[in-house]
């Protein structure tokens, strides 16, 4: 079972200094470190983020030594309270970056996020500029409570911003943008990409604006619209499709809220055939909103039904054959794309 990580067995994130081949997780660490050096209002809090340990995934390893325990707050196990605390800090002009140990545990902090943070500026005009880092997604045999993709709940919530980087460069650029944004931003980072995806990451200050999608591959026959872990799968699928004479365009959304509607409509109008892919389950996932948007505003350009691929409407199963059946992957994307192309 080569895909099985012996659980979340992670080494140091910051080891990788090679800019051409920087890992996704090292890019996250770098963004955090640079922002903390730049602005003393930026601080980190969460379970196990401090000390020598530096977090369950080691994103903040070495941070306490550099920035001190005042700026790297190791919290008791109490998500609702420490996320609510981030609300208060943010109102006072600090820029807390909260780590929830796994995205799955973000539900424990739900009230602090969707009730307080999301509504505050609308109600009384004060900004709540925090970031929650939420390690998400599965495929690594971690079971129902360490594999979730809960982004749709937050995309559904007015007042929040939501981003989901798919590359090391975007992991850095979007995190810096999120920290500087004056609103609560949930940053869904992909666990399966942490150490398996490497690429060029620009040095120094590098910002990827929130709200801008990236055309990851140009094509003519079909558009694959996706984000997060599935971008890599879509690009693999596009390679395969090219060998079968199907030219697939891949749009990486990067930001889930606010959606880059123009980029979505542009690609839909260009190819006339749209396949939306995400790891989260399909029912009322991002795909539903994107499909509705295209149906409303690009209907006459369409040459086929809008297809969606997502997780099944079940909890995320643990056992490898079940999880493989549950998740989208490159092979399933190829299959769906071929069907759609032939329509």
Partner 1 sequence: MTHTQLSPQQKLELYYWMRLTRTFDDRMLALWKQGRGVGGTFSERGHEAIGVGAAYAMYPDDVVAPMHRDLGCYLLRGLSPRRIFANLLGRETGITRGRDANLHGMGDLEHGIIGFISHLPQSLPVALGVAMSFRYRHEARAALTFVGDGASSAGLFAEVLNMAAVFNAPLVIIVENNQYAYSTPLSQQTKVPDLVVRAAAYGLPGVTVDGNDVEAVYSVVRQAIDRARGGGGATLIEAKTMRMLGHAIHDGAEYVPRELLAEWEAKDPLRRYEGVLQQEGVADAVELSEIGERCQREIESAIEFAEDSPWPDPATVSEGVYAP
Ligand X SMILES: Cc1ncc(C[n+]2csc(CCOP(=O)(O)OP(=O)(O)O)c2C)c(N)n1
What residues make contact with ligand X under the rule CB under 6 A? 47, 77, 79, 101, 105, 108
CB of 7 to partner 1, least distance (A): 3
Which of 145/343 has CB closer to partner 1?
145
Binding of residue 143 to partner 1 (CB under 8 A): yes
Query: CA 210, CA 204: separation in Å to the nearest integer?
Result: 18
Binding of residue 141 to partner 1 (CB under 8 A): yes
Binding of residue 288 to partner 1 (CB under 8 A): no
Binding of residue 199 to partner 1 (CB under 8 A): no
Which of 6/20 has CB closer to partner 1?
6
Query: CA 41, CA 207: separation in Å to the nearest integer?
Result: 18
Binding of residue 315 to partner 1 (CB under 8 A): yes
Binding of residue 209 to partner 1 (CB under 8 A): no
CB of 315 to partner 1, least distance (A): 7
Number of other CB atoms surrounding residue 123 within 10 Å? 9
Query: CA 153, CA 194: separation in Å to the nearest integer?
Result: 23
Establish whether 121 is a catalytic residue: no
Residue number, nearest CB to ligand X: 105
Please choose which of ligand X, partner 1, none residue 62 contacts, taking the beta carbon within 5 to 8 angstroms, the exact cut-off set by kind: none
What are the contacts of 264-267 at 24+ separation with CB within 8 A? 264/213, 264/225, 264/290, 264/293, 264/294, 265/293, 265/294, 265/297, 265/298, 267/215, 267/223, 267/225
Query: CA 155, CA 71: separation in Å to the nearest integer?
Result: 29
Peptide bond into 87 cis (omega under 30): no
Binding of residue 284 to partner 1 (CB under 8 A): no
**Number of C-alpha atoms within 13 angstroms, CB side, residue 118?**
20
Query: CA 233, CA 220: separation in Å to the nearest integer?
Result: 19
Please choose which of ligand X, partner 1, none residue 115 contacts, taking the beta carbon within 5 to 8 angstroms, the exact cut-off set by kind: none
Binding of residue 81 to partner 1 (CB under 8 A): yes
Mark 8-36 as b/e (b = at least 16 C-beta within 10 Å).
bebeebbebeeeeebbbbbbbbbbbbbbb
Q: What share of the chain is helix, strand, coil (3-state, %, to 5)?
A: 40, 20, 40
- Binding residue for partner 1, selected from 10, 110, 153, 301, defined by CB under 8 A: 10
Count interface residues toward partner 1 (CB under 8 A): 48
CB of 81 to ligand X, least distance (A): 11
Can you give the binding site for partner 1, defined by CB under 8 A? 1, 4-10, 47-48, 50-53, 56, 74, 76-81, 101-102, 104-105, 107-108, 140-146, 312-315, 317-322, 324-326
Write out the catalytic residue numbers: 146
């Amino acid at each position: 079972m080569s895909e099985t990580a012996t659980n979340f067995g992670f080494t140091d994130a910051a080891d990788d200094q090679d800019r051409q081949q920087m890992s996704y997780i090292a890019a996250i660490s770098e963004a955090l470190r640079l922002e903390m050096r730049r602005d003393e209002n930026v601080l980190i809090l969460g379970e196990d983020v401090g000390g020598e340990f530096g977090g369950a995934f080691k994103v903040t390893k070495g941070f306490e030594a550099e920035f001190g325990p005042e700026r790297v707050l190791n919290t008791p196990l109490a998500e609702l309270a420490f996320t609510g605390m981030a609300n208060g800090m943010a109102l006072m002009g600090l820029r807390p970056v909260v780590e929830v140990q796994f995205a799955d545990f973000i539900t424990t902090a739900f009230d602090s996020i969707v009730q307080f943070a999301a509504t505050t500026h609308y109600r009384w005009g004060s900004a709540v500029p925090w970031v929650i880092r939420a390690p998400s997604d599965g495929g690594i045999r971690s079971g129902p409570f360490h594999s979730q993709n809960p982004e749709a709940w937050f995309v559904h919530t007015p007042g929040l911003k939501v981003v989901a980087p798919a590359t090391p460069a975007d992991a850095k650029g979007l995190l810096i943008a999120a920290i500087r944004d004056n609103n609560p931003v949930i940053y869904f980072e992909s666990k399966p990409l942490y150490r398996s995806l490497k690429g060029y990451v620009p040095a120094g200050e590098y910002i990827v604006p929130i709200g801008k999608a990236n055309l990851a591959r140009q094509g003519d026959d079909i558009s694959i619209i996706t984000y997060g872990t599935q971008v890599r799968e879509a690009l693999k699928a596009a390679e395969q499709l090219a060998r079968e004479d199907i030219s697939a365009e891949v749009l990486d959304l990067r930001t889930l809220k606010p959606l880059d509607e123009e980029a979505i409509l542009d690609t839909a109008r260009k190819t006339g055939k749209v396949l939306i892919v995400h790891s989260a389950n399909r029912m009322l996932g991002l795909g539903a909103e994107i499909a509705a948007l295209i149906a409303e505003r690009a209907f006459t350009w369409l040459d086929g039904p809008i297809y969606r691929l997502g997780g099944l409407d079940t909890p995320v199963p643990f056992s490898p054959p079940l999880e493989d059946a549950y998740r989208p992957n490159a092979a399933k994307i190829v299959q769906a794309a071929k069907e759609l192309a032939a329509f």
